[in-house]
Structure 1
Amino acid sequence: MSYLLQLIEQYGLIIVFFNVLLSQLGVPLPAYPTLIITGALASGGEYSTTLLMLTAVGAALIADYGWYLAGKRYGRKVMGMLCRISLSPDSCVRQTEAIYARWGAPSLLVAKFVPGFASIASALAGTIGTRRPTFLLFDGVGAALWAGLAIYLGSRFSATIDQLLLLLEELGETGLAVILAGIAVFVVGKWWQRKRFMKSLSMARISVAELDQLLQQGIKPAIVDVRTPVAQQRGWIPGAVVTSIQQINTFTLDVTADQEIIVYCACPNEASAAIVAKQLIQRGYKKVRPLTGGIDAWIAAGYPVET
């Protein structure tokens, strides 16, 4: 443990850079504890506070700009990939789109304070065409606010943090084990949360080929689009009606309880569609199925969309 603390004192800025970079790239490795500890060390003269701030902001901007460019080039695919590798629930795309649609680029000012939002918001900014200077301005200010608060907390409670570091040093290997156990508990907790969420989405689905076959046969199921307004601008499956998870309790379908209802979204594992489908089943509709792959699978198969 003593060796670890010496590394933090000697190479703190390098550790901060790579910790923040990996964290903003989506690795489940919290950067705030590192920033708070190095903020405490900076208040004691170990580092330059300005250099510490620039290091953290620079690392965050590199990661975020990488996601911005990925979103600009690959569109929504990169956001879907982010949600698949994330330890947060798969509704992250829908939530991020809703926040970004309401506030636009200024939402990046608080993005890093919202778990699971920063990386996807950066990719979304590139996807919907947010201007590069605008993105860099708001993302940079947001990174400064995020890192600055951690550094301030470190300096404000430097005495307490110094005592904690001394205690961990006295504990030796036990102290290191406590730190590693804390990180493990965080990761396992997120993994368990995701596993429970995935289990809750388990239900029968319909493929895009099956839906097209129904339409070709003249069978017209009720088709419900539960994407955000931003996503719906790209077009929708012909005949679909539009709603959202927030509106589903007041949403009325002009169908009988026995009629087929197909719900689709544009999110990994059909998360939003499955949630809405289960809510419709609870309201008495008997034949409700999410569309496997959502609108992206429909478009990839070459089927038409309306705008």
Structure 2
Amino acid sequence: MDDVTQFVIRHSSLLLFAAVFAEQVGLPIPAVPVLLAVGALAGAGQMSLGMAVGLAVAACLAGDFIWYYLGRYRGRHVLNLLCRISLEPDSCIRRTETFFGRHGMWSLVLSNFIPGLGTVTPALAGLFGVSVERFLLYNSLGAFFWTVTYITPGYLFSDQLEQIAAQAAHFGGSLVALILSALALYIAYKYFRRHLLLRKLRIARITADELKQMMDNGHEMMIVDLRQPLDIQADPYTIPGALQMAMEELEQRHHEIPRDRDVVLYCACPNEATAARMALLLKKNGITRVRPLAGGVEAWRERNFPLQKLGEQAA
């Protein structure tokens, strides 16, 4: 038995907990191969199956609860952080909010199976005021099903996986280097795509100060709030006079946007990716006087400019 295999067996519990926890807190470390390997160890009698499942579930709950707590007590700032560090800035929050709105609490059970959702969903649950008891109930179910889904094949096919591991052992450090290189290339590719997207979405912004001055001067304009319904539910305040229109709705109703005045778009994401994308869409459809609001509604709020509660008439 080679040194690498002995190391994995000797420290399997620590490696399992660390890998699952790292993935749940958002690090680009895949836990599925570790779950399969631990399942194979359990099938070969090298580790307790119950302990393996318990450790993985505990690690999953620990990582998810951190984001739940931050979402509950730090609110939108946590989602802004996730959006900034996301490899897919245009969909990091919006896609998860759509999923959460469609499936409710069951999104906590399903999100780990969908790439990109597992980290954001617990933060959304905290942001939208899900109780600790309900969060732990549904999150525990999700963690258990996710763990069992990937440990079970390793357990059932432990002999075959052991043969694969034996073949891989012949390559020693070269195989480890190859795997790490592949992971590094994947991360680099995702960041390159992120860079291309943000570069594509470069468009002149309007600052909160500029918008406020135009409003104070009575400048005729149209302000569009592109936030998702769940965003508005969590923060039911908008810039006075803004029209609520989700991104998908704007794509279908862009012909209703006036061509003879300035149009300002804003969203919840701090990099304004959604607002910038919609601004480019409107420009392609002949609406040239359109700009995203730099920093979105958070930038407006940070300047202590007035906000209008939804349902109230603008002053």
TM-score surpassing 0.5? yes
For residues 103-133 of structure 1, the C-alpha deviation after alignment (integer angstroms, 9 at most, x for no partner) is 2211111111112212211111111100111
Stretch of structure 1 that moved more, 163-172 or 189-198: 189-198
Q: 1:32 deviation in Å? A: 0.7
Name the TM-score, length of structure 1 as normaliser: 0.95
Residue of structure 1 in register with 2:313 after alignment = none
Residue of structure 1 in register with 2:270 after alignment = 268
2-structure distance, mates of 1:7, 1:196: 41
Alignment RMSD (CA, Å): 1.6
Q: Secondary structure at the match of 1:261?
A: strand
Give yes or no for contact 2:225–2:266 (8 Å, CA) kept in 1: yes
Q: Secondary structure at the match of 1:205?
A: coil
Residue of structure 1 in register with 2:51 after alignment = 51
Residue of structure 2 in register with 1:212 after alignment = 212
Residue of structure 1 in register with 2:17 after alignment = 17
Number of aligned residue pairs: 307
**1:141 aligns to 2:164 (yes or no):** no
Give yes or no for contact 1:205–1:289 (8 Å, CA) kept in 2: yes
Name the TM-score, length of structure 2 as normaliser: 0.93
Stretch of structure 1 that moved more, 257-266 or 86-95: 86-95
Stretch of structure 1 that moved more, 286-295 or 184-193: 184-193
Residue of structure 2 in register with 1:239 after alignment = 241
2-structure distance, mates of 1:197, 1:170: 42
Q: Aligned AA for 1:139?
A: N
Stretch of structure 1 that moved more, 195-204 or 131-140: 195-204
CA distance 1:255–1:182, shift in 2 (3 Å): closer
2-structure distance, mates of 1:244, 1:97: 12
Q: Aligned AA for 2:276?
A: A
Matches of residues 32-181 of structure 1 in structure 2 within 5 Å? Answer: 32-181=32-181
**Structure 1, gaps ≥5 residues long:** none
1-structure distance, mates of 2:254, 2:20: 46
Residue of structure 2 in register with 1:282 after alignment = 284
**Structure 2, gaps ≥5 residues long:** 311-315
For residues 146-200 of structure 1, the C-alpha deviation after alignment (integer angstroms, 9 at most, x for no partner) is 1111101212332332222112211122222222122212222222222222222
- The runs of 4+ residues in structure 1 deviating greater than 3 Å are 252-256
Q: Aligned AA for 1:131?
A: S
Q: Aligned AA for 1:245?
A: M
Give yes or no for contact 1:96–1:120 (8 Å, CA) kept in 2: yes
